[in-house]
Structure 1
Amino acid sequence: MKQIYLDYSATTPVKREVVDTMLPYFTEIYGNASSIHGFGQEAKSVLEQSRKSIAETINATPDTFYFTGGGSEADNWALKGVMRANRKKGNHLITSKIEHHGILHTCTALEKEGFEVTYLDVDAEGMVSLEALEAAITDQTVLISIMFINNEIGTMQPVKAIGEIAHKHGVLFHTDAVQAYGNVKIDVNEMNIDLMSVSGHKIYGPKGIGGLYIKKGIRIQNIIEGGAQERNRRAGTENIPGIVGFAKAAVMADENLEAHREKLIYLRDKLANGIMDVIPYAKYNGHPTERHPGNVNICFEFIEGEALLLSLNAKGIAGSSGSACTSGSLDPSHVLLAIGLPHEIAHGSLRLSIGDFTTEEDVEYTIESLKEIVQKLRLMSPLYDKVLKEGK
């Protein structure tokens, strides 16, 4: 049986070149980067070189990039750190209803601390209204946090314009770029980004390592205390193998960005168009063009997403119903509800995400398999039977 992985938005395999780069830092160069002896200083040197390599991919200076345990930690730090450090300026934060739970749950925690949060609506394609965003800004607004690319439906927000609006009003701008980094070119200066979260395991690097870009001069509190690591910002002995792997993956992604994007867009469109051509009563979600190069999110009427995923898995195809962080939930996606889909349609969602190891044969096999699976599942649906009898 074929084994086809189409869940790259959840995580990516670690590339062999990345693994090879990491290996010496487990057994040969294993010092603690905080130690002053030779072993420690060797680790310290590669730590700072890795920081420099990653910073260069976003046109930042090394002293503005901080390593974290992943994207969710970076999101928590950005929001909690900025809001707590700037209480005297204001207590208001603006975000959107389709953010990753790393943002939404952090906002809920901040509301319990007395901060006020505005959750912006999005349109049917998942886009934030720039007019509504600007109208939501008050004299108490400290921070705007809008994700770069949505992890479920793939919609890409007008990040540069959002940053311009924020700065026009003296407000800071954070973006969760976990899905964007390595898939689109990012220049934090040109795009008016003040803080940005990224993650290693979305770009063919290791899990458990990420980072937060913090523009110079921004007031931000620490959320992890206990040591002087990361220039007194984030305590904890540095994960040198993970950092080295993250940097290697980042450099490879940056060097191969255009070819990577071209391949993904071609296969994405082939997959999406192929599915929509052969399966009726299906809705392609997200913006048609301003979207992640490898994201396909489709809702199929009259069936449940869980049954769809299990049937795909039986054919060796790995997909998801949305965010990997909520894949165990039976509730419909908050993102799909936010773009206006009713519960019964949102329940039949499927996210297929393409990556560097996806082939045309994988795409063709998936289209044929989905056609067969959806037809079989719908034959068990009384709602679909009713539609057929009514000739709709």
Structure 2
Amino acid sequence: MCIGQVGNLLPHVTLSANLAQHLMPAWGLSAAEGGLMASGYAFGYMLAVPVLTTLTDRIDARLVLLWGSIVSGLATAAFGIFAQGFWSATAIWSLAGLGFAGAYMPGLKALTDRLPPGDTSRAVTLYTSSFSVGVGLSFLAAQLIADHWGWRTAFLVTGFGPIAMVVACLLMQGQRPAPKAGRLLNFAPVFANREALGYILGYGAHCFELYGIRTWLVGFWTFVVAHQGAPSWLSPVVLSFCFAVISMPASILGNEAALKFGRHRAITIVMIASACVALIIGLNATAPAWALALLLLVYGLTVPADSGALTAGMSAAAVSEHRGATLALHSTVGFGLSALGAWGTGAALDAAGGPQSARGWLLVFIVLAVGIAVGPLALLWARTSSLR
């Protein structure tokens, strides 16, 4: 499942990796338009995930995972062939996000349905943290292919990645969930579960920050290289790959800390630390490249360190008969705020001077810091509400 997910994620940041250097100049887009185009993926995901993930309470999640992976791959390849500007690109990229909505959380459901009874937090964390490996490979492949053969080829090649999950689905043993009565989209039991809701809202804050920085990481480092210079080996390709790949051990260690010291405490500390690092980067956008590279690698540790603990906490708090609906709301909130993070940071960049302005990047990192700082408030609200 983890290998299949890495394949499913190969298209994931192909657009973000080529946004500042290729797509925005080719189509004359502003940063806000570029951010909105990138957010189409998260928006398509947000629209589809409530239905597709809740559906896994009624049919085998493997089937949803299979077809979601197929749609994701085909839409990514279609972007390389048919995208001609802002509107067509946004529409096709939204379709790719819709396909991924059938691939990520339904994949988690397919995995947890097949795990033995007991604490599954480490298995869940391994699955969620392998997300980072897939994103790292997506950054690497998308930029290297685009630099040598053009951005359209990058979309075509990464569109083949989901075949790995298609193979995993075909090898997986089928299951028949127990018949469920009532409405498909019934989130009332999830909203009543304040413990799970706290993790869901915290996950939304995490996704806002994560998608915001992933959308503009290559653009920010391009600014740094242009204004401060950097060693030839420290290119946007290398930096973005390292930023993504170190997320996997960070997520695993974050979950281990949550198991040892308590989820709420560990997640809160990580989120506050991440907000502080974001502010430091923004205030030092014109610092030497080596110093910014170190700060970005620290940020690459703090941004994902809460991810596994948040998802494992939500999964543990979910009532078994409503786990699909809980996963659906988790993803809807998360990717809805992902879309807001991509567009909001782009709008902030435009408002403060654009991609060539240090003030613009300062405002981007302030927005990211404010976004993740909402997470501890959500966890505090959930805890105080459950104690009443």
Short-chain TM bin: under 0.3
Larger strand fraction of residues: 1
Which one has more relative contact order, counting CA pairs under 8 Å at least 6 apart? 2
Q: Structure 2 length normalisation: TM-score?
A: 0.24
Looking at CA atoms only, which structure, 1 or 2, has the larger radius of gyration? 1
